[in-house]
Amino acid sequence: MMQRLLLLAALLTLAACSRDYSPEPQATGEQIFQATCAECHKPANNGSLFSLNAEKDNLAYLNQKISQGSWLMPAFKQFSSDDLTKISTYVMEHSDIAEQ
Ligand code: HEC
């Protein structure tokens, strides 16, 4: 239990840092991902970032996930829709498609 709390505290501390970052307009999806997401999301051994099912492997879902977050993942409200599209496209290009 204590370890879980420490992990959560560490995640929240990390989240506080990355939420301040606003990308340059010319930043690529990869650069933004490295700056804001990579601290929590490391690629698997096969280089894949996520395993996304059909419901999640699309811009609408990913843009919303990034801008709204979840109870464990920070919300990145500062990203423009251009930024979101760049990041989500990068995520889809570097993820596996899950069976379901
Ligand atoms: C502070 C840590 C943290 C940061 C920073 C973070 N995430 Fe997450 N992310 C999580 C956690 C924890 C989960 C699993 C729980 C969940 O789905 O909300 C997750 C889940 C996801 C998922 C799985 C989709 C789903 O709904 O199942 C995607 C895709 C994702 N993150 C993308 C991103 C992107 C893109 C960024 C950068 C803009 C980012 N995350 C930044 C912690 C983080």
* Architecture in CATH for domain 2-97: Orthogonal Bundle (1.10)
The pLDDT, as a whole number, for residue 19 is 63
Tell me which residues have their CB closer than 6 angstroms to ligand 1. 11, 14-15, 18, 36-37, 39-41, 50, 56, 62, 65-66, 70, 72-74, 76, 87, 91
How does DSSP classify residue 70?
A: -
In whole angstroms, what is the distance from residue 32 CA to residue 83 CA?
8
Single pTM value for the model:
0.85
Pocket test residue of 28, 51, 73, 85 for ligand 1, highest count of atoms within 8 A of CB: 73
Q: Are 81 and 27 in contact (CB under 8 A)?
A: no
Query: Strand (E) positions, 1-100?
Result: 51-52, 96-97
Would you list the domain boundaries of the chain?
2-97
Q: Are 27 and 71 in contact (CB under 8 A)?
A: no
pLDDT digits (tens, 9 = 90+) for 26-77: 999 999 999 999 999 999 999 999 999 999 999 999 999 999 999 999 999 9
Query: Strand (E) positions, 5-88?
Result: 51-52
